[in-house]
Structure 1
Amino acid sequence: MLVGYARVSTEDQKLDLQLDALKSAGCVKLFSDHVSGASKLKVGLEEALAYLRPGDTLVVWKLDRLGRTVKGLIELVDELHSRNVQFRSLTDSIDTSTSAGKFFFHVMAAMAEMERDLVRERTSAGLAAARARGRMGGRKPKMDSPRLKSAQHLISSGMTPKEVADSLGVSRATLYRGLSSLRR
């Protein structure tokens, strides 16, 4: 029996493409998750693994839907084989029921991990280059220098911190954080 598993990383992403492909491939039972690949807890995958019986095949739309590291993918496929369960990836044309499919699986898993590592390296290098030019990432602080000076003046004139925070359109916690950064 073919058992399908689909995963998307966020709630706003749709499973339709993967589920349609799995149904077209002949999957009788489908399981899915809306969770990041980095997450350890994948309830749908755990349910699929528990459902599989000897002679079944676990089918995914693409190899990266199953896991993020070569080690994790290999361990999972080895576990499946120890249970006499095969593995197929539709878009990667991997079928571990053949020797060539097993070899290709290992090569594709290594390539997928290398691609993720390269993206991570490029992102880190880009952020470092931006920092070297004086650019910082993240949100701009709500309490910039002019607003902090205004807040100090208002507090010293007798306004309560809540009134000052309300007049500046920030929370009291943001006001206190800003004022404490001036004292340092």
Structure 2
Amino acid sequence: MIYGYARVSTYGQDLAQQLAQLTAAGCVKIYREKISGATAERPQLKRAIGALDDGDVLMVTATDRLARNTRDLLNILHAVEEAGAGFRSLAEPMVDTTSQFAEVIIAVLGIAASWERERITERTAAGRIQARARGVKFGRKTALTPHQRAEALDRLAAGDTQRTVAALFNVSQATISRLVGR
């Protein structure tokens, strides 16, 4: 059986064109979703994959309707494969896991996902370096100001307990304990 999956990103968009293409391609049931592909929480996609049995096909009009990036696409293809089904894209005929070249296609997509991951890592690292150069501080903000830290240490030196000092500054005892450990 051929199942279709159609998705638009916003409620203002229309699924009509995708539905017409999927119906013309022979889809028996089409799962429709009006939600961003950036989120992994796509209930209709999960239902479509859950409905797949051995020999079924999940079809989309284009891979960008299914996944935002190669890694996401590979995860979805893996779930489809686990169900014993195949996958086809109408806009990209080479993305067809029902053909004899299925393993080659998945291998190429895997390589693309690996390169994509490396590029993301490189861009993220470069962005961090630029941000540090601009003086951006990373990590959580401290719970106590420098003045509060000094006062807390003074109170501890005067004999107050960590629990009392923590309650005074409305922080956890662990925060005061870390302050003492420095």
Question: Is the contact made by 2:70 and 2:109 (CA closer than 8 Å) also made in structure 1?
Answer: no
What pairs with 1:7-86 in structure 2 (closer than 5 Å)? 24=19, 25-26=22-23, 28=29, 35=40, 48=49, 51-54=52-55, 56-59=56-59, 62=64, 64=67, 68=71, 79=81, 85-86=85-86
Q: 1:137 maps to which residue?
A: 138
Question: Is the contact made by 1:3 and 1:58 (CA closer than 8 Å) also made in structure 2?
Answer: yes
Q: Secondary structure at the match of 2:59?
A: strand
1:170, CA displacement in angstroms?
0.8
Question: Is the contact made by 2:2 and 2:59 (CA closer than 8 Å) also made in structure 1?
Answer: yes
Count of matched residue pairs: 165
1:114, CA displacement in angstroms?
3.7
What pairs with 1:139-154 in structure 2 (closer than 5 Å)? 139-154=140-155
Q: Secondary structure at the match of 2:144?
A: coil
Structure 1 residues 119, 93: closer, same or farther in 2, change over 3 A? farther
Unaligned runs of 5+ in 1: 7-13, 37-43
Q: Secondary structure at the match of 1:136?
A: coil
Structure 1 residues 178, 106: closer, same or farther in 2, change over 3 A? same
Q: 1:39 maps to which residue?
A: none
1:176, CA displacement in angstroms?
0.9
Q: Does 1:164 align with 2:165?
A: yes
Q: Secondary structure at the match of 1:176?
A: helix
CA distance in 2, matches of 1:105, 1:71: 8
Aligned-pair Cα RMSD in Å = 5.0
CA distance in 1, matches of 2:40, 2:72: 16
Amino acid at match of 1:68: R
Percent of residue pairs bearing the same amino acid type:
29
1:175, CA displacement in angstroms?
1.3
Q: 1:127 maps to which residue?
A: 128
Amino acid at match of 1:149: A
Question: Is the contact made by 1:165 and 1:175 (CA closer than 8 Å) also made in structure 2?
Answer: yes
Question: Is the contact made by 1:143 and 1:178 (CA closer than 8 Å) also made in structure 2?
Answer: no
CA distance in 2, matches of 1:175, 1:92: 59
Question: Is the contact made by 1:58 and 1:86 (CA closer than 8 Å) also made in structure 2?
Answer: yes
